[in-house]
């Protein structure tokens, strides 16, 4: 079983619905596998486990690779619903190719929930 992501990592990740977020820009370090997005799986205010959404990469990155994992995460205390609860989530990780610094981007959809594409721009330092 996966360990919960550290609270500091979860604070950096948004709980905003991807369909409403538009283009998101994230800064990462070169060659370091970094969590970019997470989609917790909770059912309403009861905070019960639900089915982990299927993440479909609609436009892959050119200068790196993505990995989507199902993990156990802790929802930040600042979240409006289910704060502090430990739940399953689909987590999207990005890692740049060796030695690359610059920009990259990718797009994905959360299926079947949104049907809308989410665009992520990445600045690699």
- Could you report the per-residue pLDDT of 5-41, keeping only the tens digit for each? 443 343 334 333 343 447 899 999 999 999 999 888 7
The pTM (predicted TM-score) of the whole model is: 0.77
**Per-position b or e across 7-36, b if 16+ CB within 10 A of its CB:** eeebeebebeebeeeeebebebebeeebbb
DSSP H helical segments within the chain, as ranges? 7-12, 18-21
Kindly report, residue by residue over 39-74, the tens digit of the pLDDT: 887 777 677 777 888 899 999 999 999 999 999 988
* Residue 36 · residue 93 · CB < 8 Å: yes
Domain boundaries, the chain: 7-124
pLDDT in tens, 72-85: 988 888 888 788 88
Cα separation, 94 vs 121, whole angstroms: 11
pLDDT of residue 51: 81
Residue 47, number of CB atoms within 10 A of its CB: 17
């Amino acid at each position: 079983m996966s360990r919960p992501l550290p609270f500091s990592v979860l604070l950096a990740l948004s709980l905003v619905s991807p369909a409403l977020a538009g283009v998101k820009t994230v800064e990462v370090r070169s060659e370091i596998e970094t969590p970019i997005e997470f989609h917790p799986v909770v059912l309403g205010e009861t905070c019960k486990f639900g089915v982990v959404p299927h993440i479909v990469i609609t436009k892959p990155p050119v200068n790196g690779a993505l990995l989507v994992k199902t993990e156990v995460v802790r929802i930040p205390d600042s979240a409006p619903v289910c704060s502090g609860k430990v739940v399953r989530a689909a987590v999207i990780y990005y890692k740049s190719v060796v030695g690359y610094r610059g920009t990259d981007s990718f797009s994905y959809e959360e299926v079947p929930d949104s049907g809308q594409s989410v665009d992520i721009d990445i600045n690699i330092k």
